[in-house]
Chain A
Amino acid sequence: MSWADNFLNAAIMIALAAIIISLGLIVIRLIRGPTLPDRILSLDMLVTVAVGFITVIAIHSQQRSYIDVAISLGLVGLLATIAFARYVIYRGLQNEEADEGKEQEPEAETVDSGKRSDVGENSESQTPSSNQRWL
C-alpha cells in the first residue's frame, strides 16, 4: 500500500462526501424552489450529480460496467428534462399565485392558453399554426 494508493482512497472518500453534501443541497432547492422550473432544474442536476457519484463508485469498486450505467442514466435525465420543459411551455405556471412575474407580458397569454387547455383537450387548436409548428 503505497502513499499514492492511500491518497486515492482518501480522495475517493472526500469526493463521495462532497457529492453527498451537494445532493442534500440540491434536495433543499427541490423542496424550496418557488416555481416549477426551479424544481425541474434541481431534478436535472440531481441526475447529473448522481452520474458523477456512480462514476466515483465505479472507480472505488473496480467495476467497469458502472460507467455504462452512468451514461444511460445521463441519457434518461436529458430526456426527462426536455419532456418537463415542454410540459412547462404548454401548461404555464397556473398554480403559482405567489409568483412575482405577473406584470410580465409573456405570462398573460401563456396562462390564458393554459386555462383554455383545462376546458378541453383540443382547445389549443384555436391557434393551429403555432401548435403545428412547435408542438
Chain B
Amino acid sequence: MAALATGCLLLIGALFCLTAAIGLVRLPDLYSRMHAATKAGTLGVGLPFLAAIVHFGELEVATRALAGIVFFILTAPVSAHVLARAAYFAGVAPWRETRIDQLAGRYRTGLRRLDGFPFKDQ
C-alpha cells in the first residue's frame, strides 16, 4: 500500500516537472515562463518529498522532508517576485499581445518605487 502511494506521488511529481519544463520552452515571454516554472516546479519538488515521507515512514525523514516542503513553498514566491521585479526594471518587454500592463509608466525608476500604489483610476 505504501509502495503504491509512493509510486503515484513520484509519478505525479515527475509529470509536474515535465509540464513545467515544456512550459518553460513553449511559453512566449519571461513572465509567463515564470508562471510555469515556479508553480509547477514547486509542486514537482513537494510531491517527491511527500513520497519520501510515505516511503520511509520514519519520524526523522518526515520532519526533514516536511521542513523541505515548507521551505520550498515559502521561498518559491519570494524568488519569483525578486526575479520578475528585476526583469521589469531591466526592461524585459512583456509579450506583444499582452493587453494590460498596469505598471507601465508608474515606476519612478530612479527610486525604484511605485507611484501612488493604490491605483485609483483602474
Contact = CB atoms under 8 A, between A and B. Distances in A.
A74 B37 CA distance: 15
Contact of A134 (B18, B25, B37, B112): B112
B79 A78 contact: yes
Q: Is the contact region of chain B dominated by helix, strand, or loop, or is it mixed?
A: helix
A110 B90 contact: yes
A4 B13 contact: no
B104 interface: yes
Given A81-B82, A92-B91, A41 B71 contact: no
B86 A130 contact: no
B7 A55 contact: no
Interface in A50-96: 51-52, 55-56, 58-59, 64, 67-68, 70-71, 74-75, 78, 81-82, 84-86, 88-89, 91-93
Interface residues of A, number: 72
Interface in B2-27: 3-4, 6-8, 10-11, 13-15, 17-18, 20-22, 24-25
A4 B73 CA distance: 31
Contacts of A67: 49, 52, 61, 64-65, 68
A41 B104 contact: no
A64 B60 contact: yes
Contact of A74 (B13, B30, B68): B68
Given A18-B18, A82-B79, A111-B91, 7 more contacts: A21-B21, A45-B24, A48-B42, A48-B76, A52-B44, A89-B90, A105-B107
7 cross-chain pairs, A with B, having the tightest CB-CB distances, nearest first = A107-B91, A11-B7, A101-B93, A22-B21, A15-B14, A55-B48, A25-B21
